[in-house]
Amino acid sequence: MGIAARLLAFFLAIAALLSSSAVRAVEEVDLLLVLSSDVSRSVDAAKFKLQRDGYAAAIVNPRIIQAIHSGAVGKIAVSFVEWSGIGAQKIVIDWTIIHDEATAKDFSAQIIEAPRAFADRTSISGGIDFAMAQLARAPFQSNRRTIDVSGDGTNNSGRDVADARDEAVAKGVTVNGLVILSERPMSWNADHTNPPGGLENYYRNNVIGGPGAFVMVAENFSSFGQAILNKLIAEIATVQGTRHAKLHESTFR
């Protein structure tokens, strides 16, 4: 073998070793979780603040930290995104490891400080597709991948939401829903926030899917904080490797 051939073989071996080391270096977490928040125009400034405050308060709750510690690894990776109409999705907080009170407080502070992304139509399908893209680029590894969709209306922009849901489920992702009920229908489009059969049933039939998928309901934006707390606990906590069950009927007031 000539010198050039030996050098090529040497560099190929080094590249393979480095590549193998990079693969091994991917950090393992108990859960990859995308918090996917509706900021469409039906979410006014007061509702937006309640929603943001709810997420920020929930993530630092001691029960959340306890739930995280119940996992085999004891840490999760979370990304927070906001979505509105088709093509209107934004990463508010990129992938972040949460494993203790300090990391949870840092994530919470970023939620509070970040400006609102959009105020457009409602593309739940676009939100799910965008969340799937974030899972695909996550710099961490987990056997559990979940999209946490919160919203106050039906899909009225972009492709069919059930198609987006089905594609996510086919790739092993669980899509859960947090429905925020509206006390009064919107005057210009009552069926958007109050569809026939109710928004909870709409989410159950069109949005959620995957192993253990569930819908939780906040009676209004004021009760959102308690609802998101219980929902996050259900998504994060494990009991002998399985998530808490029978939470899909829960309603918080």
Task: Give the pLDDT score at 230.
Answer: 93
Taking residues 65-89, report their average pLDDT. Answer: 95
- Cβ 179 vs Cβ 217: under 8 Å: yes
Residue 244: is its pLDDT beyond 70? Answer: no
For the chain, domain boundaries:
28-252
Taking residues 152-174, report their average pLDDT. Answer: 96
Task: Pick 185 or 154 by higher pLDDT.
Answer: 154
Using CA atoms, how far apart are residues 129 and 237, in angstroms rounded to an integer? Answer: 25
Secondary structure (3-state) at 203? helix
DSSP 8-state secondary structure symbol assigned to residue 86: T
DSSP 8-state secondary structure symbol assigned to residue 239: B
Secondary structure (3-state) at 174? strand
Task: Pick 120 or 72 by higher pLDDT.
Answer: 72
Q: Report the predicted TM-score, pTM, of the whole model to 2 decimal places.
A: 0.84
Task: Give the pLDDT score at 117.
Answer: 87
- Please give the mean pLDDT across all residues of the chain: 86
Give the residue carrying structure tokens 């089905």: 166
How far are the Cα atoms of 6, 155, 190, 191 from residue 164, in angstroms, in the given order?
50, 11, 24, 21
What residue type is 218 in one-letter code? A
Task: Give the pLDDT score at 245.
Answer: 39
Secondary structure (3-state) at 219? coil
- At 6-24, the pLDDT tens digits run 656 666 667 666 554 444 4
**In the chain, what percentage of residues exceed pLDDT 70?**
81
Task: Give the pLDDT score at 252.
Answer: 39
Which of 39, 108, 99, 104 shows the shortest CA–CA distance to 73? 99
Fold annotation for 28-252: Rossmann fold (3.40.50)
**Sorting pLDDT into bands at 50, 70 and 90, what band is 26?**
confident
Task: Give the pLDDT score at 47.
Answer: 82
